[in-house]
A and B are shown apart, each in its own frame.
Chain A
Amino acid sequence: KAGVTQTPRYLIKTRGQQVTLSCSPISGHRSVSWYQQTPGQGLQFLFEYFSETQRNKGNFPGRFSGRQFSNSRSEMNVSTLELGDSALYLCASSLSRVNEQFFGPGTRLTVL
C-alpha cells in the first residue's frame, strides 16, 4: 500500500511570493491534516480536512489556507511568504480520526 506522498519535496521562494504544496493521502483515507515543523516551535497543527470540509484549524494567520478535493488529495497554500514561514510542512492522513495518522516525508520550504 502506498504511503502518503507530498510534492514538491523541496522549495525555495522569496518573501512576498505565494506557494502551493500538495499531499496525496493513503488510499481510502479521508482525513488529511497539515503541520508546520520548525526547530524552535516543533510540530504545530495547521488544519485538518475531512471529506472536502475543513474540520479543525490551528492558530495560524489567514495567509495559510488549504483545500481538499473529492479524491481526498489536499493542497496547502501560503500567501505573502515571510522569512518565518521557512519550515518543514508535513501532511498526515488517517481513515477518520486524527489520532491514528500516517505522515508523509514533508516539503521543506525555504523563504529567502
Chain B
Amino acid sequence: QKEVEQDPGPLSVPEGAIVSLNCTYSNSAFQYFMWYRQYSRKGPELLMYTYSSGNKEDGRFTAQVDKSSKYISLFIRDSQPSDSATYLCAMSDNYGQNFVFGPGTRLSVLP
C-alpha cells in the first residue's frame, strides 16, 4: 500500500460544477496537509494547507481533513476552465521530516 493514495482521474466536469478531489493516507503521524495545483510544464503551486483535522475555506476552494479516517478532500465550487490542471495532495509530520506527495489527479473543466 502506498503511503498516500489519490483518486487517479482523469476527471472531466462542465464549467460551474462542484469538484471533489480526495486523498487517503496511512501514516498517522501526518499533521500538515496541503493541496497543490500544477499546470502543464509548470511547478506546483500551493493552494491551501491545513493543520490537523478540520475545514479551511479560501474563495472557491475548501479543504477538509478527517484524521480519524485518514482522508482529506479539496472542493472546488463554480469550477472554471482555468482550474484545469493536475491537483496534488501532500502531507508531512510535525517536523516536516516526512513530506509525501500523492500521485495527482488531472482535472479538466470544459467550457
Contact = CB atoms under 8 A, between A and B. Distances in A.
| A: contact size bracket | 20 to 34
A25 to B, nearest CB: 13
Contact of B45 (A48, A55, A99, A103): A103
Interface in A50-101: 55-56, 90, 92, 97-101
Interface in B60-90: 88, 90
A92 B41 CA distance: 16
A99 B92 contact: yes
| B: contact size bracket | 20 to 34
B46 to A, nearest CB: 6
Contacts of B96: 48, 56, 97-99
B27 to A, nearest CB: 14
Nearest to A97: B96
Interface of B: 32, 34, 36, 41-46, 49, 88, 90, 92, 96-97, 99-104
